A and B are shown apart, each in its own frame.
Chain A
Amino acid sequence: MALLAIEDLSVGFAREGRFARVIPGLTYGVEAGETLGIVGESGSGKSVHALALLGLLPQPPGRILGGRAVFDGHDLLAMSEARLRDLRGGRIGMIFQDPMTALNPVLTIGRQIAEPLMRHKAMSMRQALDRAADLLALVGIRDGARRLSQYPHEFSGGMRQRVMIAIAISCEPALLIADEPTTALDVTVQGQILDLMAELRDRLRMTMVWITHDMGVVAGIADTIQVMYAGRIMERGPVDAVFANPRSAYTYGLLQSLPHGSRPPGGRLMQIPGCPPDMFAPPPGDPFAPRNPFATPRCHVEAPPLRPVPDSVPGHMVAAWYDLPRLLA
């Protein structure tokens, strides 16, 4: 059974009297034990949908327009703020993109790690701090006992992200949502954090939703990949199948723009020209159509539904009116 099942989630923003449906209706599920990699250019609604799930969306300007998000049998969007609060930081952990601003600059690291333990595990400050020292060791920070009394500015970016990870996993969550946890870090540190997360996931048997805009990162950690654009799923399926056999022009474009590694043979290094649509005036059909050299006339007027790819592995789905391999051939 799916640990998290999102149905028709729809989120919008009001700005200067206008309203944008940033996520027009999103449906997907994450199986227990699965790692789902969500990829898409910035602005495609990845962060917004995750924040909406956890009740962290700034409202206003944001507004959840409808849908369900069933976690462990209960709808996150329908439950009271108090019950959601019990889940946040407890059974659902979250890591944010920018470790430089995500920690409170005037509180000690120890206190910041201890907080969720005191809240969800009914620990005393003492116990929580002891546990925090262990957690620091777990995320690869040596000399934890001493570092507990330090402040965020005494840590490097990579170290701070490790602290964020320690906070997120402190209560051994069933589900961990990581929103671009490595994007703000330099390349070598990115690799280390990636390895650390994979190891912790296996050790704590966490289900994970990993949000990124980097196809390469997904390849390294995810079982399933889900490509998003303008709040919609363009393609989704097992990582190997999608990388070997992309069916959406958008996925294809993202793969082409990878500097190295798993790229379909013959692909050249390229960037997808153009930029994401203005969500205050979305195009009527497929939002990617204006940038898509393969777009058919139908794409411009009617958005394609997400359908299984007939000749691929089960679970491989795509939203496209055309057949990409035939066009590429």
Chain B
Amino acid sequence: MGRFLLSRLVDGIVAIWGVVTIVFVVSRLLGDPAILLLPVGATEEQLQQLRAGLGLDQPIWEQYLTFLGGVVRGDFGNSFQFMRPALSVVLERMPATMALAESALLVGVVLGAVAGSMAALFRGTIVEGVVMLLALLGQATPVFWLGLLLILLFAVDLGLLPTGGYEGPASLILPALTLGTFTTASIARLLRSGMLDVMKDDHVRTARAKGLLPGTVFLWHVARNSLIPVVTMVGILAGELLGGSVVTETVFSWPGVGRLIVQAMEAKDFPVVQAGVMVIATIFVVINLFVDLLYGLLDPRIRARR
């Protein structure tokens, strides 16, 4: 187990290093940041000065090492917009993003688990049909459109909830629902098919042969065994969730990292973009590390193989 943990940790670090490299390469594709930074009509001398200041006159690999060193120290340079370290600008927005992503995940897991279980328990009935239809629609509905529809319905027409912003729990409801829908739908579908498979397994027949109550059979011998693929799915969905948060935050004017990145892009504030992308990629890697650990907890066979 210890060795396994270590090797997953190394994998994670390599992945993050890869992301750093991608970010560096992309940032060099931008062309000369010095030209972008200075007002139009700056002199050649001013340009040279700025390039030297940014280290752009160094060979490319040296720039890369400098960049890498900066990332390790958490130094992405100063935000062009805010004139403060980019990382701290990003980290200030983290609580909002985490609140949104966590609520969305909660919505997704709880609703998805309930819906998927219902569909499996009531297979062949209208319940299964309705759940599966909704799940198909949920997977096909793009987040930003869903967000707009919910605003239209609950904020504009019914006036029940705010259209956006970040004031109190009420303003969290619509964004969380919006972002959580895809997760809900995916988990519901996966859990249903997983449970239907498990229900056919021999060990469920054994459980019934023991005379166990239906609730016990379902919880301990069906649901418990269907969790593993769901956990994998949560790891994958975390990516969709973090990516989706960019759009959702924009739709709902939610002051999180996603919206910050989009705004920074429009303002060509690259240090903030880089810091934001790095932070989100790191969260994603950490989540998947947890998912791997969770596997071992859920499945003793996997634990043994490690």
Contacts and interface: CB of A to CB of B under 8 A. Distances in A.
Q: Do chains A and B touch in the complex (CB under 8 A)?
A: yes
Given A105-B225, A106-B301, 11 more contacts: A85-B211, A85-B213, A86-B211, A88-B211, A94-B209, A96-B206, A101-B201, A106-B225, A119-B210, A153-B300, A153-B304
B298 A102 contact: no
A65 B298 CA distance: 42
A151 B224 contact: no
B208 interface: yes
B216 interface: yes
B199 to A, nearest CB: 9
B79 to A, nearest CB: 49
Contacts of A51: 205
Contacts of B205: 51, 56, 96, 102
B300 A104 contact: no
Contacts of A151: 300-301, 304
A106 B300 contact: yes
A164 interface: yes
A101 B220 CA distance: 16
Contacts of B301: 105-106, 151, 153
B236 interface: no
Q: Number of contact residues on B: which range applies?
A: 20 to 34
25 contacts: A54-B209, A85-B211, A87-B211, A94-B209, A96-B205, A96-B206, A96-B209, A102-B202, A102-B206, A103-B206, A104-B206, A104-B225, A105-B225, A105-B301, A106-B224, A106-B225, A106-B299, A106-B301, A107-B220, A107-B221, A115-B210, A119-B210, A151-B300, A151-B301, A151-B304
B269 to A, nearest CB: 49
A167 interface: yes
Contacts, number: 81
A64 to B, nearest CB: 16
B28 interface: no
Contacts of A89: 209-212
Interface in A71-121: 85-90, 93-94, 96, 98, 101-107, 115-116, 119-120
Given A102-B203, A106-B224, A167 B304 contact: no
Contacts of B224: 104, 106-107
A106 B301 CA distance: 8
B207 interface: yes
A103 B210 contact: no
Contacts of B210: 88-89, 115-116, 119, 167
Nearest to A51: B205
A199 interface: no
Interface in B204-237: 205-213, 216, 220-221, 224-225
Contacts of B304: 151, 153-154
Contacts of A88: 208-211
A98 B216 CA distance: 23
Contacts of A96: 202, 205-206, 209
Contacts of A120: 211
Interface in A106-157: 106-107, 115-116, 119-120, 151, 153-154
A90 B211 contact: yes
Given A85-B211, A119-B213, A105 B206 contact: no
A65 B98 CA distance: 58
A81 B244 CA distance: 48
Nearest to A97: B202
A153 B300 CA distance: 8
A102 B203 CA distance: 4
Interchain residue pairs A-B with the least CB separation, the first 6: A89-B211, A89-B210, A88-B211, A101-B202, A151-B300, A116-B210
A164 B206 contact: yes
Contact of A115 (B200, B201, B216, B299): B216
Nearest to B202: A101
Nearest to A170: B210
A22 B290 CA distance: 50
B209 A104 contact: no
A115 B216 CA distance: 9
Contacts of A98: 202
Given A115-B216, A154-B304, A104 B211 contact: no
Interface string B56-94: 000000000000000000000000000000000000000
Contacts of A115: 207, 210, 212, 216, 220
Contacts of A94: 209
Contact of A103 (B200, B203, B220): B203
B97 to A, nearest CB: 34
Contacts of A116: 210-212
